[in-house]
Amino acid sequence: MFFYKIHKNLIHNESFTYLDFYSFTFLFATAFSKEDLVPVQEINPKPLIIKKVGHNKLIAEVTWDGTLENDNVPVRTKFRCFSDAVTVKGPKHALFGDRKVNFEIKVHKKNVNVKCRYGVQDGSTFIKRIRFQT
């Protein structure tokens, strides 16, 4: 009962209506004001796909997407493995608009765990690390 009386007094209080008016005005002004957004140039990696295309050959497909990049901007791509069980043909150079590049991986030894690093470089960069078994 006590809380009901306090609530009833607040509703009929004149300062409460001013608070409502100022809150509504603030919310209206902020909801319809124009924001100044800062443009961000960014490259986002997509999941790496490795396909087996022969007895001792793999194809690694590096794909990406991004914002505020022209499609004709050149990008440098790298794919490097830290094992003598495989060799990688590269580096490949592509345009941002291609959104993918393929690397040929030749397998020399079977059943070996291989660690690799790949990425795309231009104004912004991403580098990823993977492991797989030959």
Identify the residue with better confidence: 31 or 110. Answer: 110
Residue 55 included in any domain: yes
Task: Of 71, 76, 80, give the one whose Cα is nearest residue 124.
Answer: 76
Share of the chain above pLDDT 70, in %: 71
Identify the residue with better confidence: 56 or 33. Answer: 56
Does residue 3 carry a pLDDT above 50?
A: no
Does residue 9 carry a pLDDT above 60?
A: no
Residue 37 included in any domain: no
pLDDT of residue 67: 79
Count other Cβ atoms within 10 Å, centred on residue 39: 7
- Expressed as residue numbers, the domain containing 117 is 42-133
pLDDT of residue 102: 92
Lowest mean pLDDT among 14-28, 49-63, 78-92, 114-128: 14-28
If you average pLDDT over residues 100-106, what whole number do you get? 93
DSSP annotation of 84: T
Residue 112 sits in a domain whose CATH number is 2.60.40.3450
| Domains in the chain, number | 2
Whether 89 and 124 map to the same domain: the answer is yes
Whether 27 and 92 map to the same domain: the answer is no
pTM for the full model? Answer: 0.67
At 38-85, the pLDDT tens digits run 777 788 888 999 999 988 999 999 998 887 678 888 888 889 999 999
Q: Order the strands of the 113-121 sheet from edge to edge.
A: 92-95, 74-81, 113-121, 125-133
Whether 19 and 85 map to the same domain: the answer is no
